[in-house]
Structure 1
Amino acid sequence: MKNIKYIALSLLTVGMMSCENDTLNDLRDRGNEDNQPLPELSVGDVDFSNYVAVGASFTAGYTDGALFVASQQNSFPNIMANKFALAGGGTFTQPLMNDNYGGLAVAGNRIQNPRLVFGGAGPVPLESVIGPVTVSTDIATNNPTGPFNNLGIPGAKSYHLVAEGYGNLANLSAGLANPYAVRVTGSTPDASIAQLAAAQNPSFFTLSEIGGNDVLGYALSGGDGSNPITPTALFGGALNALVGALSANNTKGAIGNLPNITSLSHFTTVPYNPLDPSNPAFGPQIPMLNGVFGALNPIFNAVDPSRAIVFSETEASPVVIKDESLADISSIIIAQLNASPTFPAFIAQFGLPAEAAPLVANLLGNTYGQSRQATADDLFVLPSSNVIGTVNTTNVAFLMGQGLPQALAGQFSIEGVTLPLEDKWALTPDEQAEIATATQAYNASIEAAANQANLALVDLNTILMEATSSGVQFDDYTLSTDLVFGGLVSLDGVHLTARGYALMANSFLKAIDAKYGTNFEASGNLAKAGDFPTNYAPTLQ
C-alpha cells in the first residue's frame, strides 16, 4: 500500500511567499506617524559589553533539523548582540559549524544528518536534492576555540546545563554527553555549561527555552515513556542553579518562559483522518476492512462504543491507534471470538481452515485490545506521515511465523489501518495534558526565578498562542505555525525560521526595555522582518 500523504502542499516556492515589500524603509528614516525623528538609542546603566546567552536549540539557532553557519548567524542571541553593539556591546563569539550543510561527525563517522530543504511538496533531506555531501564538522578533530558567548546546546535539558562532563567526548558513547556541548568545552571538557558561562563574568545574559527539551523529548516520542518528562523539582533545582550562577554579581539579564510545544507544526500538521476513500491504494479495500472490523465491533460496542472501527466510503477516515490509556480487553476479544459459532466461517473467507480459529482469535485480541480510531483531539508527530498506510514488515514476519500466508500477513500489517499505530506516533489527550501540566509548572518556576533575580521575563508562551490562533504580526508579515508556509516554524516543525528568531529577539528586546528602561523599540532598533528569510536554498553552502 502506498504512503498516504499527510498534506497536499502547493508547488509554489517559499521564496514566492516571502517577497519583500519595496515600501519598507528603516524606521529611523521614516520617523513616527507624525513624521517626527525617533529618539537616539539609550540603554541607561545596562552594560551589554559582555553578553552571554545560555540555552538549548533556539539559543543556538537550530533550524530545518540542523545547525549550520547561516542558521547560527541568524540565531536570536546573535541578532540581539548586533543591536547591543550599537550601545557598547562587545564581540559575540559563536561556535560556528564548518559549513551550511549541517550535520555532525565523530572521527569521520556521521552521527547527525545535514539540514532539511523544501522539495516542492514539503520538507526533504538536503542530499535528496543536491546529492551526497561530506559532513565536515567533526567533534573529534576540528572543534572551534572558545570561550563562546553563545552557549546554546541543541538537545540539552535543564539539568544537562549544570552537569559536569556533559561536554566530554569520552562520555559520548555512554550517552552522557552531547556532541554540541563537546564543541564548546575546549580544554575543560568536564566543565558544565553553567560554569563556562559564569567563568566569562557576563555583564548581561539571556536564559532561554530552559525546560523546553524536558517536555519536548516526551512529546517527540509520542509519550511512549522512552523519554520521560523531567520532574518539576529536578527542573526547578537546575533552573535556580543556572540563574544563581549567571546573576551572582547582580548581573542583569532576561529569561524566556516556555510555550506549549504541542502547538508547533510538528504536532499539528498530520491530520487525524488522512485515509481518503478516493486514494486507489485505500478506497477499494474499505469493504474488506469494514468486514473484518464488523466481526470485532459488536465486542467493542458492548465494552465501549467509542472503540468501534468503521471506514467511510465517502469521507476521509481516522487512522487506527493504540491508546495505552484504554483498558486492555484482549482477553475479552479472544474469549468472545472463540465462543462465536460463526467465527470459523468468518476466517474461511481468508483461506484459513477452521482449526486456525483459536490462533486468529488470539492474534486479533492482542492486536486490538487497546485500539480505537483517532479523534480530532489526538495529535500526530510529523514523521508519522511517512508511516501511515505503509506495511510494517516486522509485523508481517511475525504473522507469517504464526502460520499466516504472506499476503494475508501483509493485509493485517498496514500502519494505522489494520495495524494500530504505536504510541510513539501519537499524543493522546492524556499525554497532551501531562505536557501542559509540566509546562505550566516550569513556567511558574521561571517566573519566580525571574522575580527573585530581578530579570526581564519574556512571555514566549503568549506569542506562540497568538501565532497558533490568528497569526502574529511582524512588520508587514503575519507569521503562523503552519508548516512550510507559515513563516514562523522551520521545516523540522519544531524550531524557528530565521524570521521567527528575529521575532524572538525582538520579544527579548521589548522585555528588556520594559524591565530596565532601555529604548530599543522606541528608537527603531528592533530587527526588521524583511531582513530575515523563512527558508534557506538547497544551494547554500
Structure 2
Amino acid sequence: MIKNFKWLLLVSLSFVACNNDDNTTVVEEPVSSGTASFTKYVALGDSFAAGYSDGALFKKGQEGSYVNIVAQQFATAGGGDFKIPFTSDNFGGLLLGGNVIAGVRLYFNGAGPAPVSGTPTTEVSTKITGPFNNLGIPGAKSYHLVAPGYGNVAGVASGKANPYFARFATSSGTTVLADALVQAPTFFSLWIGGNDVLGYATSGGVGVNQTGNLDPATYGGNDITDPNVFASVYSSLVTNLTANGAKGVVANLPYVNTLPYFTTVPYNPVPLTAEVAAQLNAGYAAYNGGLQYAAANGLITAAEATKRTVKFVAGSNAVVVVDSYLTNLAAYGIPSYRQATAEDLPVLTSRTFIGTLVNGNPAAVNGVSVPLADQWILTKDEIAEVKVATDAYNVTIKAIADAKGLAFVDTKVIMTQLSSGGIVSNSFTLTSAYVTGGAFSLDGIHPSPRGYALIANAFTAAINAKYSSTLKPVDLSQYSILYPAIIQ
C-alpha cells in the first residue's frame, strides 16, 4: 500500500510539472491606488511638467511629459482622463498675431543641434477650451502660479503674461492655481521652483530680463526669487491643493551644475601655440602691471592680484572673463578681468561664441583677447548664490511635504547621480553628458523622452511608497533618446 501511494504521488507530481512547463500562466498583480484616489489628477509645474524638450514645446514632447506618463499609470488604477493643452504641431514655437515669438525645436543633424525645418503654427491668441489637467507652464516661477492675469493674451506682447498659459487659461484674470482647483482634484503633482533660479543661472548671473518674455517690473525678470517669497507661495499652493482632502506628490530641485547646459563647455577650451601665447601675454602686460600697482598701494591684496593676473601658455588655456565680484578698480583704469577656473561654468551657448572674432578682427578674439561678458559664464560666486537659494527652497518643499503627508521625490539626488556616473535602468545607463548621455535633450536643460520616463518612474515609486499603491514603472526602452528631424 505504501509503495502504491509513493508511486501515485510521483505520477501526480510529474503530471503537475508537465502542466506547469507547458501551460504556464503568469498572473499579474492587480494595480491598486492604495490610499490615494487618482480619479481627478492635475499637474502643476513649469516646462518639465509641460513636456518641453529640445528648446521648444511640441505635441510629441507633451505626450512624453513625465506627468502624462504618470497619468497613464494612474489610468490602470482608476485614474480618469488627463487633458493636455496640445500645441498645433511638432515644429514647436509660438505665434502672436502671426509673428513668431518662440522658435522651433532642435534636432541632431549629425554634427550638433540645429533647428528643424518648418514654421510654428501655434497661435497664442487662438484660445483652446479647458480646463486642462496638465498645468505645466514653460517659464513659470513659483509665484506665477498664483499671479492673476498670467494667462491674459493682452499681456503677452508687453511681457506681463505667459504665452503658453494664455492659450488655455479659463479667463484673462485667472491663475494657474485657480484653474487647478476648479477641477476639484483628488490627486495633484507639484514640481515648481526651478525657474526661480534658472533664469539667473542661464543668463550667466546677469539677473535682468534678457528674453523679453516677462516684465521684470512685474515678475522679477531673471533675478533669484527671495526664499521667503518662495516659502510663502509654496505653502499657499499646497494648502489650497490639499484643502478638500486631495493627496499628492511634490519634488525638490536639483543644483544647476548637474545640468549639461552648465557642464558641457570646459573652462579651458582655448588651444594656443607658444608663439600666440607670448603675443597675448604681451597684450595683457599693461593690465597685469596695473594689478601689481594696485596691490603695492593696498587697493587689492596680493592674493587678488594673483587671481586676476592673465597668463597664457602653450596648450589648453582658460578663457578670460569679466567678473563683477572682483574689487572695482575702474577709477584707476583697471578692468575686472581674470581667467576662468574649474569652479566657473561657461553656459552651453558659449560653445559657439568662444573663439569668434569681433567684427572680423583677428586680433579681437572672444574669450581670449576680448574677455567674455558676464552672460557667457556662471562664476563661482554666482553658483554659490544659486546654491544657497536652491537649498532654501528645498528645505521649504521637504518641510511642507512632511507636514501635509505628501509623497516626495528627491530630484536633486537623481540629477546628481546622472551627473556623477549615471543611473542604470532597464539595462540602459543614463548620464547628463550632452547629446550622448541619453537623459537630456539638446537644449541642455530639459530631459529627453527617456529622461522624462526616468523621472516618471521616480514619481510613481514615491507615490507607491507613500500611499501603498502598486503602480508599475514604464520600460525605458520604449522611449527614445532624441527626437528625429521629422516626427510622424
**Which residue number in structure 1 is paired with residue 22 of structure 2?**
none
Q: Which amino acid aligns with 1:82?
A: Q
- Provide the rounded CA distance (Å) in 1 between the counterparts of 2:105 and 2:330: 43
Per the TM alignment, residue 420 of structure 1 is displaced from its structure 2 partner at its CA by 1.0
SS at 2:240 equivalent: helix
**Which residue number in structure 1 is paired with residue 144 of structure 2?**
160
**Which residue number in structure 2 is paired with residue 136 of structure 1?**
121
- Provide the rounded CA distance (Å) in 2 between the counterparts of 1:287 and 1:312: 8
Tell me, yes or no, if structure 1 residue 223 matches structure 2 residue 238.
Answer: no
Q: Which amino acid aligns with 2:283?
A: V
- Provide the rounded CA distance (Å) in 1 between the counterparts of 2:342 and 2:235: 38
**Which residue number in structure 1 is paired with residue 110 of structure 2?**
120
Within the candidate set 329, 350, 364, 1:384 is matched to: 350
**Which residue number in structure 2 is paired with residue 510 of structure 1?**
461
Aligned residues: 441
**Which residue number in structure 1 is paired with residue 452 of structure 2?**
501
SS at 1:215 equivalent: helix
Tell me, yes or no, if structure 1 residue 238 matches structure 2 residue 233.
Answer: yes
- Provide the rounded CA distance (Å) in 2 between the counterparts of 1:388 and 1:45: 55
Pairs within 5 Å for 1:186-197: 186=170, 188-197=171-180
Per the TM alignment, residue 411 of structure 1 is displaced from its structure 2 partner at its CA by 5.2
**Which residue number in structure 1 is paired with residue 167 of structure 2?**
183
Q: Which amino acid aligns with 2:229?
A: L
**Which residue number in structure 2 is paired with residue 149 of structure 1?**
133
- Provide the rounded CA distance (Å) in 2 between the counterparts of 1:477 and 1:301: 54
**Which residue number in structure 2 is paired with residue 310 of structure 1?**
311
**Which residue number in structure 2 is paired with residue 423 of structure 1?**
374
SS at 1:184 equivalent: coil
- Provide the rounded CA distance (Å) in 1 between the counterparts of 2:256 and 2:114: 22
Pairs within 5 Å for 1:273-422: 273-277=268-272, 285-301=276-292, 303=295, 304-313=305-314, 315-332=315-332, 334=333, 365=334, 369-393=335-359, 410=361, 413-422=364-373
Tell me, yes or no, if structure 1 residue 471 matches structure 2 residue 422.
Answer: yes
**Which residue number in structure 1 is paired with residue 486 of structure 2?**
539
Is the Cα contact below 8 Å between 1:151 and 1:184 reproduced in 2?
Answer: no
Q: Which amino acid aligns with 1:324?
A: S
SS at 2:486 equivalent: coil
Pairs within 5 Å for 1:68-83: 68-83=58-73
- Provide the rounded CA distance (Å) in 2 between the counterparts of 1:195 and 1:324: 41
TM-score normalised according to structure 1 size: 0.79
**Which residue number in structure 2 is paired with residue 353 of structure 1?**
none
Deviations 1:501-534 (A, max 9, x none): 11111111010111111122xxxx2111001111
Is the Cα contact below 8 Å between 1:301 and 1:308 reproduced in 2?
Answer: no
**Which residue number in structure 2 is paired with residue 23 of structure 1?**
none
Per the TM alignment, residue 38 of structure 1 is displaced from its structure 2 partner at its CA by 5.2
Deviations 1:111-157 (A, max 9, x none): 00000111212212223xxxxx221100113x321110000000000
Is the Cα contact below 8 Å between 1:378 and 1:426 reproduced in 2?
Answer: yes
Q: Which amino acid aligns with 1:483?
A: Y
SS at 1:535 equivalent: coil
Higher relative contact order (CA 8 A, sep 6+): 1
**Which residue number in structure 2 is paired with residue 130 of structure 1?**
none
Per the TM alignment, residue 37 of structure 1 is displaced from its structure 2 partner at its CA by 5.5
Per the TM alignment, residue 268 of structure 1 is displaced from its structure 2 partner at its CA by 0.4
Bigger mean CA deviation after superposition, 437-446 or 296-305: 296-305
Per the TM alignment, residue 46 of structure 1 is displaced from its structure 2 partner at its CA by 1.7
Per the TM alignment, residue 374 of structure 1 is displaced from its structure 2 partner at its CA by 0.7
Q: RMSD of the TM alignment (CA)?
A: 1.7
Per the TM alignment, residue 262 of structure 1 is displaced from its structure 2 partner at its CA by 2.2
SS at 1:473 equivalent: strand
Unmatched runs of 5 consecutive residues or more in structure 2:
1-24, 209-221, 296-304
**Which residue number in structure 1 is paired with residue 88 of structure 2?**
98
Bigger mean CA deviation after superposition, 43-52 or 230-239: 43-52
- Provide the rounded CA distance (Å) in 1 between the counterparts of 2:96 and 2:26: 57
**Which residue number in structure 1 is paired with residue 12 of structure 2?**
none
Is the Cα contact below 8 Å between 1:158 and 1:235 reproduced in 2?
Answer: yes
- Provide the rounded CA distance (Å) in 2 between the counterparts of 1:86 and 1:458: 21
Pairs within 5 Å for 1:199-210: 199-208=182-191, 210=192
Per the TM alignment, residue 284 of structure 1 is displaced from its structure 2 partner at its CA by 6.0
**Which residue number in structure 1 is paired with residue 194 of structure 2?**
212
Q: Which amino acid aligns with 1:63?
A: S
**Which residue number in structure 2 is paired with residue 65 of structure 1?**
55
Is the Cα contact below 8 Å between 2:46 and 2:140 reproduced in 1?
Answer: yes
Is the Cα contact below 8 Å between 1:42 and 1:519 reproduced in 2?
Answer: yes
Per the TM alignment, residue 190 of structure 1 is displaced from its structure 2 partner at its CA by 1.1
Within the candidate set 432, 435, 456, 1:481 is matched to: 432
Q: Which amino acid aligns with 1:372?
A: R
Unmatched runs of 5 consecutive residues or more in structure 1:
1-34, 128-132, 335-364, 394-406
- Provide the rounded CA distance (Å) in 1 between the counterparts of 2:306 and 2:27: 68
SS at 1:316 equivalent: strand
Q: Which amino acid aligns with 2:287?
A: L
Q: Which amino acid aligns with 2:308?
A: R
- Provide the rounded CA distance (Å) in 2 between the counterparts of 1:214 and 1:432: 14
SS at 2:261 equivalent: helix
**Which residue number in structure 2 is paired with residue 169 of structure 1?**
153
SS at 2:76 equivalent: helix
**Which residue number in structure 2 is paired with residue 260 of structure 1?**
255
**Which residue number in structure 2 is paired with residue 402 of structure 1?**
none
Deviations 1:339-358 (A, max 9, x none): xxxxxxxxxxxxxxxxxxxx
SS at 1:439 equivalent: helix
- Provide the rounded CA distance (Å) in 1 between the counterparts of 2:475 and 2:238: 30
SS at 2:101 equivalent: strand
